[in-house]
Structure 1
């Protein structure tokens, strides 16, 4: 499936590996490909980004996708429970305080619960509007307010 420069590179690299007596399998290809096209410095930067990742203004679904994407670059073994803890700790406080005490250790279940809580939290929040009702601005200081009983 490689084309252009990558195809040319792989033909030469695979032949060199075969000449050395190396078994060329998927693991071998992946290692050689990453060394060539995805340097260690970039992998380390992605790993650091993963460790700092917070939900911020992202929706839970967006955060989960970014989390899963960056988790691939983490070089240590990741247990299911640790992955869930990391994800939970990166959630917004309003979601984290509800979801983390549930101690969910299955990632899809955790994401689903966070989504449910996010939807419930957004239902209770008032919609922000800019300005007030039409015609509410005063055209001078003499307009009576409906609650002002002193001006009768």
Structure 2
């Protein structure tokens, strides 16, 4: 869904509306209740705030902590850049909020690249 939202240039409100529409069963019931609560806490609910609430409800804390540790120790190693990027994006959903902005994401991604590649990326300002 994230790729589609990015491609279409969806606002946070549009992302939340679409994601809420896609939920079914227990998740749909959770959202009907949680939506009002979150809107009271965050009158301008952001997509990131929605994701935090969703992940906290559907992924146990120990699972999130394990994935966060895996993300923080992720390095390219013998993987291709594409394989490293795919794993990075998979695990990024479980990272602390301070790594969600573009600068935080880029910095962490660069640190995990092999030295020979990372040096080129950094020196070229990519």
Shorter chain as denominator, the TM-score bin is 0.5 to 0.7
**Partners of 1:50 and 1:70 within 8 A in 2:** yes
**2:78 aligned with 1:53:** no
1:99 maps to 2:117: yes
Largest Rg, 1 or 2: 1
User: What does residue 92 of structure 2 align with?
Assistant: 71
Q: What's 1:31 paired with?
A: 52
Q: What residue in structure 1 maps to residue 19 of structure 2?
A: none
RMSD: 3.3
After superposition, the C-alpha distances for 1:118-138 in whole angstroms (9 at most, x for unaligned) are xxxxxxxxxxxxxxxxxxxxx
Q: TM-score when scaled to structure 1?
A: 0.48
Number of residues of Structure 1 aligned to a counterpart in Structure 2: 98
Deviation of 1:57 after TM superposition, in Å, equals: 4.2
Moved over 6 A (4+): none
Greater shift after overlay, 47-56 or 69-78?
69-78
Partner of 1:130: none
Q: TM-score, normalised by structure 2?
A: 0.55
Question: Relative to total residues, which structure has the larger helix share, 1 or 2?
Answer: 2
1:61-140 aligned within 5 A: 61-75=82-96, 76-77=98-99, 78=104, 80-84=106-110, 86-88=111-113, 91=114, 96=115, 98-102=116-120, 104=122, 109=126
Q: Any unmatched runs of 5+ in structure 1? A: 110-152
Q: Tell me: CA distance 1:24–1:32, structure 2 relative to 1, closer, same or farther (3 Å).
A: farther
